[in-house]
Structure 1
Amino acid sequence: MKKNLLLSIFSGLLLWVAWPPTQYTTFFLFVGMVPMLLAMENIINADVKGKGKKIFNTTFIGFFIWNTLCIYWVYNSLKIIGPITAIPITLIPYALGPLLMATACWLYYRIRLIAGRTLSLIALVCFWIGYEYLHQSWDLNFPWMTLGNGFATTHKWVQWYEYTGVYGGTIWVWVVNILLFLLYIGLREQQSTSTRKKLIVSFTLVLILPLGLSLYKYYTYLEQSNPSNIVVVQPNIDPYEKQGTIPVYTQVATLTHLSDSIGQRNTEYFIWPETAIPEDMDEDHIYTNNYYQQVRHFLNRYKNANVITGGETHKLYTKRATNTASPLPNQPGMFYDRFSAAINIENANKVQFYHKSRLVPGAESLPFGNTLSFLKPVFEHLGGATGNYTIQTEPTVLYSQSGIGAAPVICYESIWGEWVSKYVKQGAQFIAIITNDGWWENTSGKDQHLDYAKLRAIETRRWVCRSANTGISAFINQRGDIVQQSKWWVRTALKQDINLNSDITFYVQYGDYLPKIGSFLAVLGIFLIGIKKSFSH
């Protein structure tokens, strides 16, 4: 059994080496699952008891190694909520993902008891897709390690994401690995020459055709000329000093100074990062807010420009006007909702708000809040901010005076392809990602987050304008190329003439259809396993 454990560990290491932000080892994704498949095959064919448990335990170890080595930086981002709270929350990305991955492998074993190897391997892909879709849809969401994200540094290989989204990449990885596995098994089992030839041809076609199609699309893709001048600002304010240490007026002055240093008369958007204005602002009285007035004064020099900025906002109610409203401390009869917001400010007396909708489990939201709402005081006592933010259920496109539609995507939300595509479906012509990656410190987390944004550009064929508080800020074109980027922990601003786009891709039109189909087939497979188990008793 030590051999199988080593195979699982080897898989975890191969997948880690292949994962962003590395740029020249992505091809290991195509072989990374083979040792894991061999380990499972060895256990299935062994004369031992408890095969299902052995498969679960063996695969969990490999997946845990892969996940932990890739997202070791998560703990840094949770320090602010207190160490006691951070420890259990950190288990969500480190342990929960591998548990779900190992469960998919266990279900594969259960299917092998009632079906042949080929059908079971197809079921394995469906179980895996089902796990990935679940892990982006429920309250414990963390889709960071979706297999299709692994091509973020080699975006030239996956230009067809405009049809499939990242789940097409997940399927591609699995199919290539499975064919390699079957080739190896064929040699070990001394299968016929004709069978091996068919597998070799299948492997070659599955690997080369998507790659060739993608490279063709990449080198022939032409953007339609529809220029707009955009400025993204990186104020480089230590996230631990944003609240209280540095006056808010000074922070806004830094943002306006950087914007003014490269702004042009035809600049149409200045984009500032998440929580760029850290002062809690009342949305119903925004026009009298001092920091709003400070931004408006800056915009007087740019008559056609808008500022999209992150901010902390709230709404007050004299009764519980929403299901999410909380009682206002020390003010009986008053209630409030708090938001992590994107705010569009223009020269006219018009302000548009978008409220962050994909929150970090534990750090920004209490998973299964309706059921576990009694735990909110416990988290707050331990130093956390869990459950403080209220979300909106549908995206909001922010429009300029001239009618340009921007998709305001706040930090963690940029991992959801279908969510971003909803903005585009509503009329967004470019994507504005505002984030504060300083919590992750100088780790690969900030680089992965930037790389994943390239996939959103391909899926939607929209420019991405990324403003990050401490880095990395960037402009990404419709092919996923980083045209400009800042350095980490540098105070700067970037400007770029981007091309607006109003065309709708197949993926934008139909969203995550692949994981929905895969999840349906996975549920069907689980149902068949249940029936078989019932009859066996």
Structure 2
Amino acid sequence: MDVFQVEPWQANFKFHPKIALIGLVRTANRLSLHIVFKITSTMQLKNLFKSNFFLMLLSGLLLALPWYEGLPSYTIFFGFVPLFVSYYRLVEQKAGFWKIIGYVYLSFFTWNILSTWWIYNATAIGAILAVVLTALLMTMVFSIYHFIHINTSKAIGAFAFITFWIAWEQFFHNSEITWPWLTLGNSLGNHPMVIQWYEYTGVLGGSLWILVVNFFILSQITAYRERVYGRIAWFFSDVLLFFAIPFAISLYIYFNHEEKGEKVNVLVVQPNIDPYNEKFSGLTNEQQMDIMLSLAEESIDSTIRYVVCPETAIDDRIWEHQLADNESVKRLKAFVDRHLGVMWITGLVSLKLYEPNETVSHTARKLPYDERYYYDRYNSAIQVDTLFNLPIYHKSKLVVGVEMMPYPQYLKFLEKLSIDLGGITGSLGTQPDRGVFRSTDGKYGVGPIICYESVFGEYVAGYVQNGANLLFVITNDGWWGDTPGYRQHLSFSRIRAIEMRRSIARSANTGISAIINQRGEVIDSLGWWKRGVIKGSLYANNATTYYARHGDYIGNISAFMALLSLAYGISRYLMGRKKREL
């Protein structure tokens, strides 16, 4: 069965500007591809590749293809090549800085809009900002490379680009404004067989691999253009070496890996509640609980230890000091009492009340009906079991512009500009540590990863460091519609499984829910816009990978080396200026 097939519900939509724009973008994508191939067939290929405009567009297209499941992902290994061929030509022609930067921005803009246009389904402003600003930041990285390149050499420039790019990816993982979606290593998420060594390097190791292969291919082309034929065979062997060795290592790990840990049976619930028309308006909280409890009750058996439900599955806006008295929580307690040994993990919207003399967080706000009190709102996860201790975890990697505004201690007034997707908006509260839910017998520890948090490898490592031997991803990807967005998001969970060597149960409100093994393979899944459950087995692995222990060390080393290359570039620039003055 094709989990990505078009469903009948999609044909029943009335005209909507967002849907019209999505159709327009898809049509434009197809038209652009048609034009490219039409031009290629009617012009001499040699003349076509003399066009800087074409090369920059081609680079953007090659970099975007891996973000579409079913399209060739290997283009990421030479996606930068047309861009740099055009750049070298522009430098040789002594083109001005802004002309060069304009062409480079075109390439990165093409990559971004073709890969992440689907954000528009949730928010037009968010989509525009994500595409325009991410392309701008990529171009800023390139401008630093340009400065170093023109003041040093191609080799040093290449080293600088690789280190600065990875350092920038690292920054985008950890800054207040985070958007690491297009991290190069993420492009291989649907090909776990070739990235098994991510357990040692993390996703930034994939970025390093991709960039190194791009530059070795570029060196082949440069040697050919400069007619230095003796270097071609040497560089060609290097390309094979740097591509083949990581690939062979991954295959070796893949075929020799065995699932580690004790077997744990789980039941993943996919309620398929429309986030636009049902989740926060059309259905009551009681009706939504009816759906999830009914799905679980129909499929539960004596072997199941965990039931997993998606992000914000309980939207009662529960005061945390009154959790045990909430009707939805009571219904879950009744369920686990009927099925002894079962633990129910679900998302919910929770509120924390601060006492008048208690220190409040930067995200706290006054109670509208009693200004003596402050409160925080959270996108949370909770475990309900027979012990009824109700451990709770607060999502702490938040979506900029929806769940948080950057630097709330300084820019709290910007909360009014938050995008309202229904449910919870404005700057939400967070917590400093990665909470782990312990099983009633103490044998299992679950890392409750909420939605966007699954994009961050080093962040997820915090759960493992705190004792998680299982990982659950709970999310609601329905905001994006039937687009590449939710498929890309699923692929990141596959990467996390490899990095941590943890089995993952993924509950997505509208799909794709999945069981993922420690090799990053999707063992079972429930596709888009389907209501149902998945029964599967996970393995509670207590071993810790090198990456889980050390995090994004490649990013830290790259940042240091990038600063060294910048310092060298500046020194060469100053020496050159001094010589010119003499």
CA shift for structure 1 position 2: 7.7
1:256 aligns with 2:293: yes
Q: Does 404-413 or 257-266 show the bigger shift?
A: 257-266
CA-atom RMSD, angstroms?
A: 1.9
- Give, in whole Å, the separation in 1 of the partners of 2:368 and 2:208: 50
Q: Which amino acid aligns with 2:486?
A: K
* Aligned equivalents of 1:377, 1:98: Cα separation in 2: 26
* Aligned mates of 1:477, 1:330 — CA distance in 2: 49
How far apart are the structure 1 equivalents of 2:482 and 2:102? 33
SS of the residue corresponding to residue 239 of structure 1 reads: coil
Does the CA-based 8 Å contact 2:170-2:555 persist in structure 1?
yes
- Deviation at residue 57 of structure 1 after TM alignment: 1.4
Alignment partner of 2:181: what SS? helix
Cα distance change of structure 1 residues 329 and 293 upon mapping to structure 2, 3 Å threshold: same
Deviations 1:154-199 (A, max 9, x none): 1111100001011111111111110111001101101141x22221
Post-superposition Cα deviations, 1:269-312, rounded to whole Å, max 9, x if no partner, equal 11000000011001111111111111111111221111110000
State the Cα deviation string for residues 439-482 of structure 1 (Å, max 9, x = none). Answer: 01111111111111100000001111000001110000000110
Would the aligned equivalents of 2:261 and 2:542 in 1 still touch at CA under 8 Å?
no
Once structures 1 and 2 are overlaid, which stretch shifts more, 504-513 or 516-525?
Answer: 516-525
Mapped pair 1:402 → 2:402: no
- Tell whether 2:362 aligns with 1:314: no
Alignment partner of 1:388 is 2:388: no
**DSSP 3-state at the match of 2:51:** helix
Aligned to 2:58: 10
Distance change in 2, residues 1:277/1:116 (3 Å) = same
- For residue 153 of structure 1, give the secondary structure of its aligned residue in structure 2: coil
Displacement of 1:31 after TM fit?
A: 1.4
In 1, Cα distance between the equivalents of 2:296 and 2:408?
A: 40
Aligned: 1:54 with 2:99 = yes
For residues 65-80 of structure 1, the aligned pairs below 5 Å read: 65-78=110-123
User: Equivalents in 2 of 1:345, 1:370: separation in Å?
Assistant: 34
Q: Contact (CA 8 Å) 2:116, 2:127: kept in 1 or not? A: no
Assess, with a 3 A threshold, how the Cα gap between structure 1 residues 47 and 203 changes in structure 2: closer, same or farther. same
- Tell me the number of residue pairs that the alignment of Structure 1 and Structure 2 aligns: 525
The change in CA–CA distance for 1:155 and 1:379 in structure 2 (over 3 A counts) is closer
For residue 262 of structure 2, what is the aligned residue in structure 1? 226
Q: For residue 453 of structure 1, what is the aligned residue in structure 2?
A: 493
Distance change (3 Å), C-alpha of 1:527 and 1:374: farther
| Residue of structure 1 in register with 2:377 after alignment | 338
Q: 2:508 aligns with which of 468, 476, 483?
A: 468
Matched, 1:290 2:333: no
1:124 equivalent in alignment to 2:167: no
Instruction: Indicate the residue corresponding to 1:31 in structure 2.
Output: 78
Q: 1:418-497 counterparts in 2 under 5 A? A: 418-497=458-537
What's the TM-score, normalizing by structure 1? 0.94
> Which residue in 1 is equivalent to 2:205?
168
The alpha carbon displacement at 1:358 in A equals: 0.6
Residues 311 and 450 of structure 2 are in contact (CA less than 8 Å); yes or no, is this contact kept in structure 1?
Answer: yes
Alignment of structure 1 residues 186-201 onto 2, 5 Å = 186-193=223-230, 195-201=231-237
| Contact in 1 for aligned 2:181/2:455 (Cα 8 Å) | yes
Amino acid at match of 2:54: L
1:239 aligns with 275
Q: Is the 8 A contact 1:472 1:485 kept in 2?
A: yes
Of the three residues 148, 154, 164, the one matched with 2:191 is 154
Matched residue SS, 2:370:
coil
Comparing 119-128 with 106-115, greater Cα deviation is found at 106-115
- What letter corresponds to residue 346 of structure 1 in structure 2? D
Measured in 1, the distance between the counterparts of 2:418 and 2:327 equals 33
Q: Is the 8 A contact 1:218 1:479 kept in 2?
A: yes
Unpaired stretches in structure 2, ≥5 consecutive residues = 1-48
TM-score norm. by structure 2 comes to 0.87
Partner Cα distance (2:321, 2:485) in 1: 36
Deviations along 1:195-232, whole A, 9 cap, x unmatched? 22221111110011111111111111111351111111
Q: 1:358: which partner in 2?
A: 397
Distance 2:334 2:414 in 1: 44
User: Partner letter of residue 7 of structure 1?
Assistant: L
In structure 2, distance between residues paired with 1:140 and 1:349 = 37
CA contact (8 A) 2:280 2:422 kept: no
User: Which residue among 368, 371, 377 is the counterpart of 1:329?
Assistant: 368
Aligned partners of 1:369 and 1:387 also within 8 Å:
no
Give the deviation of 1:382 after TM superposition.
Answer: 12
Check 1:56–1:380 CA distance in 2 against 1; reply closer, same or farther (3 A cut).
Answer: closer
Separation of aligned partners in 2, 1:534 and 1:140: 34
Counterpart residue number, 2:15: none
Alignment CA distance shift 1:151-1:391 (3 Å): same
Alpha-carbon shift at residue 427 of structure 1 (Å): 1.0
Q: Is the 8 A contact 2:517 2:523 kept in 1?
A: yes
**Cα contact 1:310–1:340 (8 A) shared by 2:** yes
The answer to whether the aligner puts 1:63 opposite 2:92 as a matched pair is no
CA gap of 1:380–1:471, structure 2 versus 1, over 3 A, is: closer
% same residue: 35
